[in-house]
Amino acid sequence: MIERRNRSGASLHDPVLEKLGMEIAAGELPAGHVLTLDAIQERFGISRTVAREAMRILESMGLVESRRRVGITVRPIAEWNVFDPKVIWWRLSGPDRGAQLRTLTELRIAVEPLAAGAAARAATAAQRARVVELAAVLRSLGEAADLTEFMERDVEFHALLLQASGNEMFGALADVVAAVLRGRTQLGLMPHKPVPEAMDLHDAVAAAIADGRSAEAEAAMRALLVEVRTAMLPG
């Protein structure tokens, strides 16, 4: 999951951060817009300390810049840490959700094939077994047209591969891929029933990884993702 699961203590600055982050990501607070701590305090009914902490986090994400005498200025999107899971989440929740899904899908096409290839080389025996198992589960869920459960297993499938790649930069994208898959389903960009080719390709990826056939794993994953992209384009 991208968002933290609410463990009991939800700290006060969190909702503030969330709200401001969303508004900036949505463009409601455009680049150049100036906030003040006073205004934030007032608006959320919180103390200065809490307002400052929320602001500091936004600043570390590159969303705002704080200067004395001036206030807290919203920075242009080019300055944002667009790989920050929270930023990705906020953008996916906002009006440019479609655009964000497209750029993320491009990123997936870049990364996941290589990750699959690496997984074929580096995965543990348990991971190889699980991948094959998941592919089978996906097939049966797909044939049963159980879309939500299919998606959850699909998330697990891709996350497993990314983590099995042995490159923690790839592994860190597991949450992102999860968000994309979920977002895609919510946007209704999925066919009503997964197409058979998709299941075949999942199988092909799984088999190649199980056998350590790196090049085949990479190719199959690339084919799978290109399929995904073309399926998304009309939407």
Partner DNA sequence: TGAACGGAAAGGTAACACCAATTGCACTGC
Partner DNA sequence: GCAGTGCAATTGGTGTTACCTTTCCGTTCA
- Contact between 119 and DNA by CB under 7 A: the answer reads no
Check the CA dihedral 211-165-176-228 and report its sign.
negative
- Give Cβ neighbours of residue 201 (< 8 Å, ≥ 6 apart): 220, 221, 223, 224, 227
C-beta of 57: minimal distance to DNA in Å? 12
- What does the per-residue mask of binding to DNA show for 16-45, with x meaning CB under 7 A? -------------------xxxx-------
- Contact between 181 and DNA by CB under 7 A: the answer reads no
Q: Which of 1, 47, 76, 226 binds DNA (CB under 7 A)?
A: 47
- Residue 16 or 228: the one with the smaller Cβ distance to DNA is 16
- What does the per-residue mask of binding to DNA show for 71-110, with x meaning CB under 7 A? xx--------------------------------------
Burial 183-209 (b: 16+ CB within 10 A, else e): bbbeeebbeeebeeebbebbbbbbbbb
According to CB under 8 A, which residues from 27 to 56 bind a second copy? 49, 52-53, 56
Q: Which of 37, 107, 207, 223 binds a second copy (CB under 8 A)?
A: 107
User: By the 8 A CB rule, do 162 and 174 touch?
Assistant: yes
Q: Which of 5, 6, 68, 192 binds DNA (CB under 7 A)?
A: 68
C-beta of 29: minimal distance to DNA in Å? 14
- Contact between 70 and DNA by CB under 7 A: the answer reads yes
Radius of gyration of the chain (CA): 20
User: By the 8 A CB rule, do 81 and 88 touch?
Assistant: no
User: By the 8 A CB rule, do 78 and 58 touch?
Assistant: no
Q: Which of 5, 6, 32, 69 binds DNA (CB under 7 A)?
A: 69
Give the single-character DSSP code of 190.
S
User: Coil, strand or helix: which one is 66?
Assistant: strand
Query: Kind of pairing, strands 64-67 and 34-35?
Result: unpaired
Distance CA 119, CA 162 (A): 8
Residues that bind a second copy (CB under 8 A): 9, 13, 49, 52-53, 56-57, 60-61, 67-68, 77-78, 80-86, 103-104, 106-107, 109-111, 113-115, 118, 167-172
**Which residues sit at the interface with DNA, rule CB under 7 A?**
7-9, 11-13, 35-38, 46-50, 52, 55, 66-72
